Amino acid sequence: MAPKKWLLFFKNDPSNWLWVLFGLAAVVMTMRNILLPSGDAYTHYNNYIIFKNSFSHWWDVKNLYLAYPSEQYDLFKYAPVFAMFFGAFAAVPDWLGLGLWNLLNVWVLVYAVKKIPLPESKTILIMGILLLQETITATINSQSNALIAGLLILGWLSLEKNNWWKAALFISLTVFIKLFGVVFFALFLLYPKWWKGIIPAISICLVLLIIPAISGGIDGLIMQYKGYMHLLANDHGEFVKYSVMGWLKSWFGIQPNKNSIVLIGLLLQIIAGVLMLFNSSKIKTFHKALYAGSWMIWMVIFNHMAESATFVIAVAGVLIWFFYSNTSKWWRMLLLIGVIAFTCFGPSDIYPRDLRIKIVEIWQLKVFPCILVWLACMAEIMGISIPLAQRKNS
């Protein structure tokens, strides 16, 4: 592309700078993790090593969900199909595979953000910049969360265009990366003729479920899913990270049953959706945007094992709420400042180490601003829906 065309590429659409910003972030984080000396037997990109090793374990029909301390720290916690697909990265040297993996994550998110129908390109640019710090946190950990956030956004936008196959594909891919993406299928019910999405969703999920049988056959696949189910069933200890449960324990010294808290949050999400369904003829695009954003926040704040790198999903949901909400601008700004100051930058070096530990771990301020936004989102959805229901029934 000639220099003049490059200039026009950015001048005509300022949001195109996001490709550069996020790509540069991915490259820098890759170089940092590859070049930084390791003080122990493991690398600074251990999550990538887990993903890479999962492919060879899958191919050799080894149990994906056992510990392999001589190869990696921690367990593989994704579906078998993820291990299979990761062969595309495992086949090349670590420096290249890690770089490509990080670029895939950030650029899928950029692609999704640029597709959001906001009024101006500059607004998209601002949204992306606000999401950059949390994306860096996910990338420095070689995590898949930026990819998941992008796929969820693309799933929502596909529903807006009544493209059931694309919506089912994007959401199904998140389910087979991290299981909690399954709740996003609830969005289908808000769209006319939602039943058209059933066959695409079932078909794609079945393919993703069965295709790892390429290695090991059906017996090998059953062995892998038994390991996966055992892993999930035993992931409910007393330990909590950055979540509603962690916040309750930190602020009030109470530790209620985690399943009960998740159920309460799930019921509130369902009630909001049901209220919208009763008024489907009057529900606008921004109502559905708020509901999509609320689910993205919900997936993180009600996950008792949510890590700092997971919050790119929640912050993407927060930004959807911010740009689509009809509540007071100053109220939205106040909540967003809290999210940026503590959720996004809480774990960063702008705070001294001792204060950083207090903000993120002791005071649970990593999650608290997202809890406030989720509650505001629920209140707005219900405040929109309940009056409509009353008028309809009067």
Residue 130 corresponds to which tokens in the numbers above?
């606000």
Query: What mean pLDDT do residues 81-110 have?
Result: 96
Q: How far is CA 8 from CA 95, 160, 322, in A?
A: 33, 30, 30
Contact 48, 102 (CB under 8 A): no
Q: What are the residue boundaries of the structural domains of the chain, listed by start?
A: 13-235, 237-394
Q: 304: which residues sit within 8 A by CB, 6+ positions away?
A: 236, 239, 240, 241, 243, 245, 246, 258
User: What pLDDT, on a 0 to 100 scale, did the predictor assign at position 393?
Assistant: 39
Span 147-192, pLDDT tens digits: 999 999 999 999 999 999 999 999 999 999 988 999 999 999 999 8
Q: What string of DSSP letters covers 326-382? A: -S-HHHHHHHHHHIIIIIITTTSTTS-HHHHHIIIIIS-TTTHHHHHHHHHHHHHHH
Residue 112 corresponds to which tokens in the numbers above?
């999704």
The residue type found at 332 is R
Contact 241, 307 (CB under 8 A): yes
Q: How far is CA 332 from CA 188, 215, 318, in A?
A: 27, 50, 10
User: What pLDDT, on a 0 to 100 scale, did the predictor assign at position 61?
Assistant: 95
Q: Examine the pLDDT at 3 and tell me if it is beyond 80.
A: no
Q: Examine the pLDDT at 374 and tell me if it is beyond 80.
A: yes
Ranking 40-44, 92-96, 361-365 by mean pLDDT, the lowest is 40-44
Span 260-301, pLDDT tens digits: 999 999 999 999 998 888 776 666 777 899 999 999 999 999
Q: How confident is the model at residue 394 (pLDDT cuts 50, 70, 90)?
A: very low
pLDDT top residue among 285 and 217: 217
Q: Examine the pLDDT at 38 and tell me if it is beyond 90.
A: no
Mean pLDDT of all residues in the chain? 90
Q: What is the DSSP letter of 38?
A: P
CA distance 83 to 53: 8
> Which candidate, 147, 184, 191, 209, places its Cα nearest to that of 292?
184
pLDDT top residue among 258 and 48: 48
User: What pLDDT, on a 0 to 100 scale, did the predictor assign at position 164?
Assistant: 96
The residue type found at 292 is A
Q: How confident is the model at residue 73 (pLDDT cuts 50, 70, 90)?
A: confident
